[in-house]
Amino acid sequence: MEDNYDFDIISVTDDDGTEHQFEEIDRIETDDGNRYVALLPIFEESEEMLEDDGDVIILKVLEKNGETFLIQIEDEEEFTEISEIFEERLENLFEYEEEE
């Protein structure tokens, strides 16, 4: 059976007006109703991809006046907690068996 992998592309405009493209690799909603996304940057040039450190970007989702915003998680404890949740989920998602 063939596995289909559909991913969402998110376009984010930063404070300077520069648009960035990301692949959404996961999203969660906590018991208190907060939502978060895990993103990987998409690069147009292969050199940019090689220079990237490969870190997943985790942002908080806020809705205000009908608009959706992605913001950095300022609270270190909140960031650590959410990072650990995503790390566990992604490890399980991409888990593989080693050949003996």
Per-residue model confidence (pLDDT) at position 3: 43
The overall pTM is greater than 0.75: no
Residue 79 and residue 72: Cα distance in Å, rounded?
9
Would residue 3 count as lying in a domain?
no
Would residue 23 count as lying in a domain?
yes
- Which pair of tokens denotes residue 1? 């059976």
- Summarised one tens digit per residue, pLDDT across range 48-90 is 655 656 678 899 999 999 988 899 999 999 999 999 999 888 8
Would residue 88 count as lying in a domain?
yes
- Which pair of tokens denotes residue 43? 């690069």
Residue in the block written with tokens 């566990």: 88
Would residue 98 count as lying in a domain?
no
**Domain count along the chain:** 1
Residue 62 and residue 87: Cα distance in Å, rounded?
22
Would residue 68 count as lying in a domain?
yes
Domain that holds residue 79: 8-93
Would residue 76 count as lying in a domain?
yes
How many CB atoms are located within 10 Å of the residue 58 CB? 20
Would residue 100 count as lying in a domain?
no
